[in-house]
């Protein structure tokens, strides 16, 4: 974004951006990095873009300004990423699809892939993420995650939103090789 890819020409051309959103962000981020690197496509991580623009981590941003401010920045970043050229791979944070406006943007302006998982796998992924950050399991949840019951509402809201994506990849049902093959098959290539 912001002209970064102006002089770049990818190996393949996409009709529209490929957007990955996961019930937990990290698997989507890893898969997005992989497909972008493999196909020579631009890569935009919305959370990292927001952090860069705000000059602080998501955790600090949410603590200082609140979740609603962060969600405003997230929608602005999504709109900008969807307009970026050349078209590439976008990874949205786990909550980007919670907004009806964002789901409409994703459905109409992108090829949206949702990565889902069981509540137990999601709990494990969030616990692993917490170990690498502040110890808390999400910027909006200032608590230590001990039990899958703690993520009930978080999980239900995201699972419902992701069920509306064009392609759903269940990470419990497909190993890494199968997820990569499914994603490659979903690439919205220009003929």
Domains along the sequence of the chain with CATH: 18-186 (3.40.50.300)
pLDDT tens-digit series, residues 114-169: 999 999 998 888 888 777 766 666 777 777 777 788 888 889 999 999 999 999 99
Q: What is the pLDDT of residue 75?
A: 96
Tell me how far the alpha carbon of residue 5 is from its chain's centroid. 20
pLDDT tens-digit series, residues 24-56: 888 899 999 999 999 999 999 999 999 999 999
Phi first, then psi: give them for residue 133, nearest 5 degrees: -120, -120
Antiparallel, parallel or unpaired: β 167-170 and 43-45: unpaired
Q: Going along 15-154, which residue ranges are E strands?
A: 18-22, 43-45, 89-92, 111-116
Phi first, then psi: give them for residue 56, nearest 5 degrees: -160, 165
Q: Which of 113, 161, 123 is nearest to 145 (CA)?
A: 123
Cβ atoms < 10 Å from Cβ of 186:
17
Half-sphere exposure of residue 116, counting CA atoms within 13 Å on the CB side? 21
For residue 8, name the pLDDT band (cuts at 50, 70, 90): low
What percentage of residues in the chain have a pLDDT greater than 90?
62
Q: What is the pTM of this model?
A: 0.89
Antiparallel, parallel or unpaired: β 89-92 and 43-45: parallel
Query: pLDDT at residue 1 above 60?
Result: no
């Amino acid at each position: 974004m912001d002209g970064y890819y102006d002089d770049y020409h990818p190996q393949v051309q996409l009709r529209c951006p490929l957007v990955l959103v996961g019930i937990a962000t990290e698997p989507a981020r890893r898969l997005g990095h992989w497909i972008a690197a493999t196909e020579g496509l631009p890569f935009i991580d919305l959370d990292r873009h927001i952090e860069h623009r705000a000059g602080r981590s998501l955790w600090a941003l949410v603590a200082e300004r609140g979740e609603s401010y962060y969600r405003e920045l997230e929608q602005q970043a999504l709109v900008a990423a969807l307009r970026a050229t050349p078209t590439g791979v976008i990874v949205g944070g786990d909550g980007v699809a919670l907004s009806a406006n964002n789901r409409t943007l994703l459905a109409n302006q992108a090829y949206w892939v949702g990565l889902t998982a069981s509540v137990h796998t999601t709990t494990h992924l969030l616990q692993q993420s917490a170990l690498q950050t502040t110890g808390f399991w999400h910027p909006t949840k200032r608590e230590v995650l001990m039990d899958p019951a703690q993520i009930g509402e978080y999980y239900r809201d995201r699972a419902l939103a992701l069920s509306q994506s064009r392609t759903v990849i269940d990470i419990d049902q497909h190993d890494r090789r199968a997820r990569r093959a499914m994603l490659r098959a979903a690439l919205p290539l220009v003929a």
